[in-house]
Chain A
Amino acid sequence: DTEVTQTPKHLVMGMTNKKSLKCEQHMGHRAMYWYKQKAKKPPELMFVYSYEKLSINESVPSRFSPECPNSSLLNLHLHALQPEDSALYLCASTPREKNEAFFGQGTRLTVV
């Protein structure tokens, strides 16, 4: 079972809104990731949590705020986003013994 679940699947938000993206996996994976993907571009790494601690932050603007409440959950809090932040946001997780990542279906975010 390599299921990573993301909610919501689609989100439209205004530039003054606050919203959160959620990601969940129950496979006991050690690391969880947020990636951002624009159309016709590869996924770009945003944040990595390893054993519930933020281990990598790729200089993402502070309007994106990650949170890892426990080893199964990963949130991405959004505030004051810009239209150029519209993208597919992908969550992934990595098993304890390997480095390969398994992805959720993503949240397609539109900022208006």
Chain B
Amino acid sequence: RKEVEQDPGPFNVPEGATVAFNCTYSNSASQSFFWYRQDCRKEPKLLMSVYSSGNEDGRFTAQLNRASQYISLLIRDSKLSDSATYLCVVNPEFDKLIFGTGTRLQVFP
């Protein structure tokens, strides 16, 4: 089993849609969780950290379920500029950040 697994995608959604991505991780000792976005041929950029109580940043909401070892990202009112690959990142041990396989999102007009 991979350390971090994500929906393979791609997700093709119209502008204005709400879309959700899921991620599961295998190491129950993991302490920190993040969502990154990566545009084609660019470096990954931090989208948001994920906290146990859940957190929101504008149109983006992240949730963490430690019991199920599950992380989610919800994007509301999708924009064309949201088209990218979304990477779930988990910190299974100190200083070790492991990326999920990524989920590709394409928002169309």
Query: What are 14 A-B interface contacts by the 8 Å CB criterion?
Result: A33-B97, A42-B99, A42-B102, A43-B44, A44-B99, A48-B95, A50-B94, A50-B95, A55-B95, A56-B95, A90-B43, A100-B49, A103-B44, A103-B45
Q: How large is the interface on A (under 10, 10 to 19, 20 to 34, 35 or more residues)?
A: 20 to 34
Instruction: Find chain A residues with CB under 8 A from B101 CB.
Output: 41-42
Interface of A is mostly: strand
Kindly state whether residue A75 has any CB partner on chain B within 8 Å.
no
A residues 84-100 touching B (CB-CB < 8 Å): 88, 90, 92, 94, 98-100
Instruction: Find chain B residues with CB under 8 A from A100 CB.
Output: 32, 34, 46, 49
Contact B97 A99 (CB under 8 A): yes
Contact A31 B95 (CB under 8 A): yes
Kindly state whether residue A7 has any CB partner on chain B within 8 Å.
no
**A43 closest partner in B (C-beta):** B99
Shortest distance between the CB of B91 and any CB in chain A (Å): 5
